[in-house]
Amino acid sequence: MEKLYHDVFEISTKLGDNMNNIKLSKFVSYILRHNPASINIELDSRGYANVDALIEGIRKKGYDINKEILESIVQNDEKQRYAFNEDKSKIKANYGHSIDVKLDLKTANPPEILYHGTSKDFVANILKEGIKKQNRQFVHLSTDEETALKVGKRHGAPVVLKIRAQDMVKDGIKLYKTDSNIWLTDYVHPKYIYY
């Protein structure tokens, strides 16, 4: 019985740690993508924050965090949202910013089709007006339907739109590939969209 209690305690502790890390990861994302001033830090022109200042600012908001926890969040993030500099003294969000930062993006040759997840409530408007970046620096496109579906679920009843990415490139439109395999562009015209 004691072993069972110990195993249950270990599992619940790991689940609790995992849930705390998910909340913490979302907060780090919010800070690095949208609002560094929320913890009184600044990002450099390329979007990097000083790791020590980030940790101190997050602690002041009541979160339990240290360098090891931050490294674990970066390493275990499925979407590879974050990157450290070489000596891990700075950290940045790789994409998804609503604030102005200079991302080191290079154009790349995409697959024939990319995907965009959205809500069915937005489909009619998108098919008429295209996909706009809204409050972000870029439109985000996925290489697989599963990822796009997850994104669509955040906005309501999900719909996955197919994007003729190679046709966009042939027409001179730039697409950028992130290290996390997300594709970015300024705008997707309706003529490249179907589902």
Same domain, 185 and 128: yes
- Residue 45 maps to which CATH number? 1.10.10.970
102 or 9, greater pLDDT: 102
Please state the pTM of the whole predicted model. 0.66
- Residue 174 maps to which CATH number? 3.20.170.30
Q: Domain boundary residue among 62, 93, 124?
A: 93
Same domain, 78 and 132: no
Q: Is residue 108 part of a domain?
A: no
Picking from 176, 48, 163, 186, the residue whose alpha carbon sits closest to that of residue 112 is: 163
pLDDT given at position 160: 97
pLDDT given at position 10: 40
Picking from 22, 181, 173, the residue whose alpha carbon sits closest to that of residue 193 is: 173
Q: Domain boundary residue among 45, 62, 93?
A: 93
Same domain, 15 and 80: yes
Same domain, 79 and 140: no
Burial status of residue 67 (CB atoms within 10 A of its CB: 0-12, 13-18, 19 or more) = exposed
Q: Is residue 103 part of a domain?
A: no
Dihedral sign for Cα 37, 40, 44, 49, please.
negative
Q: What is the pLDDT of residues 73-124, one digit of tens each?
A: 999 887 778 999 999 999 999 888 888 888 778 899 999 999 999 999 999 9
Same domain, 132 and 87: no
Same domain, 36 and 89: yes
Same domain, 89 and 9: yes
**Residue span of the structural domain in which 170 resides:** 113-194
Euclidean distance between CA atoms 41 and 185, whole angstroms:
28
Neighbours of 146 (CB within 10 A): 11
Q: Is residue 181 part of a domain?
A: yes
Q: What is the mean pLDDT of the chain?
A: 88
pLDDT given at position 195: 87
Q: What is the pLDDT of residues 160-174, one digit of tens each?
A: 999 999 999 999 999
How is the chain classified by DSSP, letter by letter?
-HHHHHHHHHHHHHHHHHHHHHHHHHHHHHHHHT-GGGGT----TTS-EEHHHHHHHHHHTT----HHHHHHHHHH-TT--EEE-TTSSEEEESS--SS-------B----SEEEEEEEHHHHHHHHHH-EE-TTSSSEEEBSSHHHHHHHHHTTSSEEEEEEEHHHHHHTT---EE-TTS-EEESEE-GGGEE-
Q: Is residue 99 part of a domain?
A: no
Is the pLDDT confidence value at 7 over 50? no
The three-point CA angle 116-153-134 to 5° equals 50
pLDDT given at position 56: 97
Residue partners of 15: CB distance under 8 A and separation at least 6: none
pLDDT given at position 137: 84
Is the pLDDT confidence value at 12 over 50? no
Residue at 178: amino acid letter: T
Same domain, 85 and 117: no
The tally of domains found in the chain comes to: 2
Q: Domain boundary residue among 93, 122, 140?
A: 93
Q: Is residue 101 part of a domain?
A: no
Q: What is the pLDDT of residues 34-87, one digit of tens each?
A: 999 999 999 998 899 999 999 999 999 999 999 999 999 999 887 778 999 999
Q: Is residue 177 part of a domain?
A: yes
Q: Is residue 146 part of a domain?
A: yes
